[in-house]
Amino acid sequence: MPAAEPLASPPVVPGSARPLAADGRPSLIGLDVDALSDIVRPLDGGDAKRVRLRARQLFHWIHHRGAADFGSMSTLPEKLRRSLANGFSVARPEIVAAQVSADGTRKWLLRFADGQQVESVFIPEEDRGALCISTQVGCTLACTFCHTGTMPLVRNLGPAEILAQILVARDALGEWPVPGEGGGAVRRLLTNIVVMGMGEPLFNYDNIAAALRLAMDDAGLAFSRRRITLSTSGVVPRIEQCGRELGVGLAISLHAVRDELRDEIVPINRKWNIEALLDACRRYPNRRPITFEYVMLAGVNDSDDDARALVRLLADVPAKVNLIPFNPWPGAPYACSSNNRIRAFAAIVEAGGHASPVRTPRGRDIDAACGQLKTSSIRRRRTPGDAAAGPAGCAPMSVTAL
Ligand code: SAH
Ligand code: SF4
């Protein structure tokens, strides 16, 4: 099929299609079958049943087969494919940088239509692999140990921008389903989604909910809700809603057992304190244990007393504790606890009845570990003499190209 003609004037778009990539065309990524029906109706001219069928086929191509152009959508009539290509896009956001760590972790820096950038990270393990996705450009919260927290919030990501991170990873891993290969029986590297990248997902609830619904749609990416985990620093009023509406696994960034310390290192605690947070956890409508993340900061929150207090605090919550060695970043005001201290802390928590695996830092050599995400564009913007350069005008970071 011929290449798309240049776009003379932006089409009038029903629903929520917005440009995702630099081509400026409204993207159909992240739209459900209803929204796609609104797109197809004026282009195809059939009755309601036919419009619905075409919209379903389009949805399948975009979200199940991962088509990155309309030309490959062989079940759609040629004329419809051409009309779609003239007004719309299924292109990915620009991949500014793609890095691979010595341990196999991969990180992508993506740039969206307005030039804003975020990072996503793929962490392979022996029998599975998790993609860590971002939900905001920067973060409004300023947890003192988190690099993202030092960036100002620029904006929320839309559903397409959240979903596109999964599409980019599937593209790179070559894991789109091929007809006849046996569907779910095929082993994939990318099996889990963790919403633990840049930003606080529950401050962007509607968009993350829309993206995760599509990620869980059986006709689309078909991730089971059991393979999705959302991490929050403690946006209490949204926690129960998230469990009720999405049913995904929950992780809580606890990091301190006393309000006085948590007020300082996880400042959202001043609004919703530990008691309010644990109350919301007890009401979480999902029978799976909640993961409590606890970053190990030397001399700050890592004493035996802290470990014992943690056991008491979680006594009546179905919990698993995840001890995260602190990942350093330039200028960070903390050091990571020693291995012996982490082991002693873990032993107390385990004796108290909670599994407490220590998370192995992954991708530290490419700044891909927890709390290290922060786009190079912002770092550059802050270097002297470069104050005027916004993210859009920045050069890529130095990388190993994939
Ligand atoms: N905003 C959400 C999700 C993103 S942060 C939240 O706070 O839960 C993902 C996890 O990484 C959180 O548990 C966070 O506290 C942790 N983290 C942040 N900075 C870190 C660092 N420097 N070292 C280790 N873990 C860190
Ligand atoms: Fe934001 Fe989470 Fe980092 Fe806190 S830990 S600053 S909530 S991204």
CB atoms within 10 A of CB 199: 29
Mapping DSSP to helix (H, G, I), strand (E, B) and coil, where does residue 155 land? strand
Residues 234, 305 within the same domain: yes
In terms of domains, do 131 and 42 share one? no
Task: With respect to residue 369, please indicate whether it lies within any of the assigned structural domains.
Answer: yes
Question: Catalytic positions, please?
Answer: 119, 370
Say if residue 375's pLDDT is above 80: no
Confidence label for 150 from pLDDT (cuts 50, 70 and 90)? confident
Size (the chain), residues: 402
Q: What is the pLDDT of residue 360?
A: 81
Winning range, highest mean pLDDT, from 11-25, 125-139, 297-311:
297-311
Same domain (yes/no): 315, 333: yes
- At residue 393, the pLDDT reads 20
124 domain residue, yes or no: yes
- Predicted local confidence at residue 185, as pLDDT: 55
| 132 and 41 fall within a common domain | no
Q: Are residues 254 and 274 in the same domain?
A: yes
Q: Residue 169: pLDDT band by 50, 70, 90 thresholds?
A: very high
Position 2 in a domain: no
Averaged pLDDT of the chain: 86
- Predicted confidence band of residue 8 (pLDDT cuts 50, 70, 90): very low
**Domain range enclosing 358:** 93-389
Ligand nearest to the CA of 371: 1
Q: How far is the CA of 142 from the centre of ligand 2 (A)?
A: 6
What's the CA-to-centroid distance between 149 and ligand 2, angstroms? Answer: 5
In this prediction, residue 16 carries a pLDDT of: 62
In a domain, 166, yes or no: yes
| Alpha-carbon span 207 to 246, nearest angstrom | 12
pLDDT band for position 7 (cuts 50, 70, 90): very low
* Ligand 1, atom 24, residue with closest C-alpha: 326
40 and 98 both lie in a single domain: no
Q: Label residue 183 by pLDDT band (50, 70, 90).
A: low
Amino acid at 331: G
Count: domains in the chain: 2
| Structure tokens given for 220 | 């689309």
Same domain, 259 and 212: yes
Distance 139 CA to ligand 2 centre (A): 6
The domain spanning residue 132 has which CATH number? 3.20.20.70
* Residue in 119, 322, 370 to alter for ligand 1 test, most ligand atoms within 8 A of Cβ: 370
Are residues 372 and 365 in contact, defined by beta-carbon separation less than 8 angstroms? Answer: no
Check if 146 has its Cβ closer than 6 Å to any atom of ligand 2: yes
Asked, for residue 62, whether it belongs to a domain, the answer is yes
Task: Check if the beta carbon of residue 310 is closer than 8 Å to that of residue 257.
Answer: yes
Q: What residue has token string 């939900």?
A: 135
Q: At what angle do helices 339-351 and 304-313 cross, to 10 degrees?
A: 30
| CA nearest ligand 1 atom 20, residue | 371
Per-residue model confidence (pLDDT) at position 178: 84
Same domain, 152 and 205: yes
Residue 167 has which token pair? Answer: 């599409």
Using CB distances shorter than 6 Å, the residues near ligand 1 are: 143, 145-146, 196, 200, 231-233, 253, 293, 295, 324, 326-327, 370-371
Ligand 1 atom 5 nearest Cα: 196
Q: Are the C-beta atoms of residues 297 and 145 closer than 8 Å to each other?
A: yes
Asked if residue 118 and residue 38 are part of one domain, the reply reads: no
In a domain, residue 379? The reply is yes
Residue 280, domain member (yes or no)? yes
Residue that wins the pLDDT comparison between 369 and 133? 133
Check whether residue 64 and residue 148 sit in a common domain: no
The CATH number for 70's domain is 1.10.150
For the entire predicted model, the pTM comes to: 0.89
Q: Assess whether 47 and 74 both reside in one domain.
A: yes
d(CA 261, CA 267): 9
**Which of 324, 302, 322, 362 minimizes the C-alpha distance to 146?**
324
Ligand 2 centroid–CA 200 distance in Å is: 6
- Asked if 174 and 67 sit in the same domain, the reply is no
pLDDT (mean) for 359-377: 72
Any domain includes 12 = no
Point out the domain boundary residue: 87, 106, 135: 87
Q: Which ligand is nearest to the CA of 372?
A: 1
Report the first-to-last Cα separation within the chain, whole angstroms. Answer: 29
Residue showing tokens 């998370």: 359
**Which atom of ligand 1 is closest in space to residue 139's alpha carbon?**
1
120 Cα–ligand 1 center, Å: 14
Of the residues 54, 71, 87, which one is the last residue of a structural domain?
87
3-state secondary structure at position 256:
coil
Residue at a domain's end among 87, 104, 129:
87
DSSP 92-103: PPEEEEEEE-TT
